[in-house]
Every structure is written in structure tokens, then in C-alpha cells.
């Protein structure tokens, strides 16, 4: 769809870069017809809320956007068109088809919304999403995002560093890792009806990664609140790692003393490792990671170590 067909030698053949969801799709084949039958019977549509019946932007948000740009993070390429980024989304809670996520994700109820920050901390707390907007320094950053599927984009996020949120709860010295969890609402997100998959989606970082200035909690994109397909109302962005680490629609952040199980690593540990730093030298078992294709333009670029953020994060992995 957005991939421009060419016959250049650098082209990544479609069958080489298979979506993360390829085996999910296969296993979903049977269950899909069951879900379709139930939906047709009106059971699901009858008991779920109507989509999109809330204001697009609250008065509080109107005061925040546009947020000041953090000039520490500049780009080596043009921004991806918003219409492209907002219509090509991995959000398996809603669909394995990137083009369908935008429509299906409108079902997600985004208010009220709370984020629990707990575990090995002195001051565990559940934050209302609007309070987070009021109490944290909101800024805009331009980041690259590299999906493990060998496509990439460059977008402006609005949000705050994860570190400032963690400091509010005072992590204790025993905490070695952070685990984040997405909502579990199978009647808003039909993908979660696939009961054999490890829902809700979880992801994790080491404490050092979470405290790095690059680790960002986004509440907005392109100068306005996140639309649901990008992970409203709040999601992680860790741009030196493959996109699947940047967990969407977060409801819980726990400080723990071990590396947590994560969604993709549980499904397929050989293909999706916990650390998942962007590295052009390490091929995915099913395709090369040496190059990437920008969505929208189809421009092919050499993939950069740490997605170009080595200066900020390479020291975390030295030795």
C-alpha cells in the first residue's frame, strides 16, 4: 500500500520481511470465524460502547499544544507525513492488518484513564492521565522509529521523559527493571479475544534504560493528543530499540527485580529478544536488518546502529 514498488537491487522483497504477526494470523484463522459469528449475532456490538463519542481535545490539552520543541533531538531525514503514520499501525489488540488499526482502534475508551506506578518504590501511586499532563514538563521531540519489520518513520512526539515519572514514586535500590502493561479490554480490542496469546501486551526495560533521557512517555504526536491507533492516551517511545518495545496505551508501570516476560518475547523468543536494540549487523532470523524503508516515500536507507542514538545509549551496553 504505502510501499512503492521498484526493481532496484536494494528492494526488500515482501516475502522476506514478514510481519511480526505472521504466525498469529495463521493461528487466528479458525478463531476468526468464531469471533465473526459472535459479532454478526450482535453480541459484541450490542454490549460495547459507541466509538468516538468524546471531544478530540480537552481544554487542558488545548493549553499544552503545541509544546516547546526539545532541540537536543534533531533528525537526519524528513518527517513522515502524518496521514501515512496514522494509517499504518501495528497495534495487535485491534488488528494484524496495519491499514485496519486506525478504524478499529476508535473503539478504545480513553477517558477516564489511570496509570499505576508501583512495585519496588517508596511512594506507589495511581496517576490520572490529566494530572500527569498538569504535573510533568511536556515537550516535543523529533524521533526516528524503526520497526523490526524493516520499515521506519520519523515523527514528532509530545510527552515527558519516563525518568521524571519514575522519580515521583522514588524507586528503591532493589529495582533492576521496569515492566509496562497495556489495557486488557477484549470487548473494545477484539484481538485480545485470542485467548491463547499472552494478553495484555507487556514490555520491559532495565532501570538504566528507563532512566536514560531518550526513554519518553508520549501523550501526543504531530502537535496534538495521540489518536488511538498510536497508543492513546499514553505510550512509551524508546527510539533506539525496535518498535515493538514502544508499548502503547499503558495502564501500569512496575518496578521489579528481574527481567519481565514480554508479549513478543513470550510468543517467539528466537525472533524478538528482550533487549531488541536496533542493530544492522544482526539479522532477524527471517530477513536482513541492514536496510530499512521509510513508510510513505519508500526511500531506502542504511539502518543505523541504535537507530542513530549511539551517542546517547551505547554506553549502556559497553562490555
Ligand X SMILES: Nc1nc2c(c(=O)[nH]1)N[C@H]1C(S)=C(S)[C@@H](COP(=O)(O)O)O[C@H]1N2
Listed in sequence order, the DSSP H helices in the chain are: 22-40, 43-47, 59-64, 82-85, 98-104, 129-135, 162-169, 207-211, 263-267, 310-313
Distance CA 225, CA 140 (A): 12
Window 256 to 315, contacts with ligand X (CB under 6 A)? none
Residue 246 binds which of ligand X, Mo ion, none (CB < 5-8 A, kind-dependent): ligand X
Residue 91 binds which of Mo ion, ligand X, none (CB < 5-8 A, kind-dependent): ligand X
Among 144, 248, 252, 284, binds ligand X (CB under 6 A): 248
Residue 92 binds which of ligand X, Mo ion, none (CB < 5-8 A, kind-dependent): ligand X
Cβ closer to Mo ion: 127 or 199? 199
Q: Is 220 in the site for Mo ion (CB under 5 A)?
A: no
Read out DSSP for 163-193?
HHHHHHH-B-TT--EEEEEE---TTT-GGGG
Residue window 202-241: x/- pattern of binding to ligand X, with contact defined by CB under 6 A: ----------------------------xx----------
Q: Give the residue at shortest CB distance from ligand X.
A: 243
Q: Supply the DSSP symbol for 106.
A: G
Cβ closer to ligand X: 87 or 119? 87
Joined together, the cell numbers standing for residue 283 give 539479522
Cβ closer to ligand X: 160 or 244? 244
The sign one gets for the Cα dihedral 167, 169, 170, 176 is negative
For 11, 55, 241, 295, the CA distances from 298, given in Å and listed in that order, are: 10, 34, 21, 6
For 8, 179, 300, the CA distances from 5, given in Å and listed in that order, are: 9, 39, 12
Residue among 177, 307, 297, 157 nearest 231 (CA): 157
The CB-of-41 to Mo ion minimum distance in angstroms stands at: 34
Distance CA 254, CA 71 (A): 30
Among 2, 12, 87, 93, binds ligand X (CB under 6 A): 93
- Part in contact with Mo ion (CB under 5 A); list of ranges 24-32, 53-61, 80-88, 89-97: 89-97
The CB-of-187 to ligand X minimum distance in angstroms stands at: 16
Cβ closer to Mo ion: 147 or 165? 147
- Part in contact with ligand X (CB under 6 A); list of ranges 29-37, 66-74, 166-174, 247-255: 247-255
Residues in the chain: 319
| E strand residue ranges, the chain | 114-119, 125-128, 139-146, 151-161, 177-182, 202-206, 216-221, 224-225, 235-237, 250-256, 291-294, 300-302
- Part in contact with Mo ion (CB under 5 A); list of ranges 53-61, 101-109, 141-149, 208-216: 141-149
Among 156, 191, 239, 243, binds Mo ion (CB under 5 A): 243
Q: Where do contacts with ligand X occur on this chain (CB under 6 A)?
A: 20, 85, 89-93, 145, 147, 182, 201, 230-231, 243-244, 246-249
Q: Where do contacts with Mo ion occur on this chain (CB under 5 A)?
A: 90, 147, 243-244
Amino acid at each position: 500500500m504505502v510501499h512503492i514498488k521498484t526493481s532496484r537491487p536494494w528492494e526488500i522483497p515482501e516475502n522476506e520481511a514478514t510481519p511480526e504477526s505472521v504466525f498469529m494470523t495463521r493461528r487466528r484463522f479458525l478463531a476468526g470465524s468464531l469471533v465473526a459469528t459472535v459479532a454478526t449475532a450482535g453480541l459484541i456490538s450490542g454490549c460495547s460502547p459507541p466509538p468516538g463519542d468524546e471531544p478530540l481535545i480537552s481544554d487542558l490539552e488545548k493549553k499544552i499544544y503545541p509544546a516547546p520543541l526539545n532541540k537536543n533531538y534533531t533528525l537526519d531525514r524528513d518527517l513522515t507525513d502524518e496521514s501515512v503514520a496514522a494509517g499504518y499501525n501495528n497495534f495487535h489488540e485491534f488488528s494484524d492488518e496495519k491499514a485496519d488499526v486506525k478504524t478499529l482502534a476508535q473503539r478504545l475508551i480513553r477517558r477516564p484513564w489511570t496509570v499505576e506506578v508501583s512495585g519496588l518504590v517508596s511512594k506507589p501511586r495511581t496517576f490520572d492521565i490529566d494530572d500527569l499532563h498538569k504535573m510533568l514538563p511536556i515537550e516535543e521531540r523529533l524521533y526516528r522509529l524503526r520497526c523490526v519489520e524493516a520499515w521506519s518513520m520519523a515523527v514528532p512526539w509530545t510527552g515527558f521523559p519516563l525518568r521524571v515519572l519514575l522519580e515521583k514514586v522514588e524507586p528503591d535500590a532493589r529495582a533492576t527493571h521496569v515492566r509496562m502493561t497495556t489495557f486488557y479490554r477484549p470487548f473494545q480490542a477484539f484481538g485480545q479475544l485470542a485467548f491463547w496469546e499472552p494478553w495484555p501486551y507487556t514490555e520491559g526495560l532495565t532501570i538504566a534504560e528507563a532512566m536514560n533521557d531518550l526513554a519518553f512517555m508520549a501523550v501526543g504526536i504531530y502537535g496534538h493528543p495521540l489518536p488511538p491507533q498510536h497508543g492513546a492516551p499514553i505510550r512509551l517511545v524508546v527510539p533506539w530499540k525496535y518498535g515493538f518495545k514502544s508499548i502503547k496505551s499503558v495502564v501500569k508501570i512496575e518496578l521489579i527485580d528481574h527481567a519481565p516476560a514480554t508479549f513478543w518475547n513470550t510468543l517467539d523468543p528466537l525472533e524478538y529478544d528482550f533487549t531488541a536494540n536496533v542493530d544492522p549487523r544482526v539479522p532477524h532470523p527471517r530477513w536482513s536488518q541492514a536496510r530499512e524503508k521509510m513508510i510513505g516515500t519508500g526511500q531506502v536507507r542504511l539502518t543505523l546502529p541504535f537507530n542513530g542514538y549511539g551517542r546517547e545509549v551505547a554506553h549502556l551496553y559497553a562490555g
